[in-house]
Amino acid sequence: MKYADLHVHTIESDGTSSPAQLVKGALERGLSAIAITDHDTVGAIAEVLKEAQETTLEIIPGIELTSQQDNQEIHILGYFLDYTQQGLLDKLQLVQQNRVQRVYKIVENLKGLGIELNAQTVFDISGRGTVGRMHIARALLLDGWVGSTSEAFRKYIGDDSPAYVCGFHLSVLEAIKLISEAGGVAVLAHPYVLDNDELITEFVSYGLQGLEVYYPEHSQSQVNFYLDLAKNLGLLVTGGSDFHGSVKPNIKLGTIKIPFELVEKLRLAKRL
């Protein structure tokens, strides 16, 4: 059997693994394919493809776009997209500028909670990568405000926490359209976070083509529910570990892996 992990992050967003480390790790764990799905950037894809060139590992160009609907943060995965398309790159540049401004807003909210965090510390940690909440969590850990990144999310910067800021550049419709225009297949990431599963039907009307059914935080009952929902709505089924490296030590590359036949169905949808 061949398996794939379709949700993998690199140092270009909030992961800690380089392209070379990812390719080596994927091969060691017996994976046949991985999808590079960094947050709001395609910056790592060319380098990962180069690292995998002389190996048996297939690299699927992807992205995880951050969008919002009704003040809720929603992530849309894109697979098999043209990561060199200029329209995509132009829009991502605007999204990344929006992310920088969001850091300043969250830092200001933290200040209101009595936590003095320097935004530059966050940017130093993110380096060349797309800056996000994981970098803020790591900065809070570095400065001793929390004992772990998970505590940072739970107490301060998680979706329902006091310093959280939504305010993203893309709507769900715009995110799906952006993926589609780049020739990709749009899939809803980790649907368990939705406040309302009925939104999925609305997203299908926007052009959504799949559901990330297999995910570390999904219980078996949730997996069964989303499998049925995908079948009823005619959606593709995907899955992945949401691998970030050392910042999520319990989630290993390939923790969630899916049969390769699901990759082939994704590939076929790309051709249609």
Q: What is the DSSP letter of 156?
A: I
Residue pair 81/184 in contact (Cβ under 8 Å)? The answer is yes
pLDDT at 167: 76
In the block, residue with structure tokens 């969630």: 256
- For β-strands 33-36 and 58-69, DSSP reports them as parallel
pLDDT at 166: 87
Phi, psi of 157 (to 5 degrees): -120, 5
pLDDT at 38: 97
CA distance 9 to 253: 10
Domains in the chain with CATH codes: 3-85+171-271 (3.20.20.140), 93-157 (1.10.150.650)
Secondary structure element (H or E) that encloses residue 102, with its range? helix 86-112
pLDDT in tens, the chain (272 residues): 999 999 999 999 999 999 999 999 999 999 999 999 999 999 999 999 999 999 999 999 999 999 999 889 999 999 999 999 999 999 999 999 999 999 999 999 999 999 999 999 999 999 888 999 999 999 999 999 999 999 999 999 998 899 999 877 899 999 999 999 999 999 999 999 998 999 999 999 999 999 999 999 999 999 999 999 999 999 999 999 999 999 899 999 999 999 999 999 999 998 66
- For β-strands 58-69 and 72-79, DSSP reports them as antiparallel
b/e for 95-104, b at 16 or more Cβ within 10 A?
bbeebeebbe
Residue pair 44/19 in contact (Cβ under 8 Å)? The answer is yes
What is the DSSP code string of 40-85? T--TTHHHHHHHHTTSS-EEEEEEEEEEEETTEEEEEEEES--TT-
Per-residue pLDDT of 244-256, as tens digits, reads: 999 899 999 999 9
Strand ranges in 72-124 using DSSP code E only, listed in sequence order: 72-79
- For β-strands 185-188 and 210-214, DSSP reports them as parallel
pLDDT at 214: 98
The closest of 245, 242, 250 to 34, measured between CA atoms, is 242
Phi, psi of 61 (to 5 degrees): -65, 125
In the block, residue with structure tokens 């009925």: 198
Per-residue pLDDT of 114-167, as tens digits, reads: 999 999 999 999 988 899 999 999 999 999 999 999 999 999 999 889 999 987
C-alpha of 261 from chain center: 22
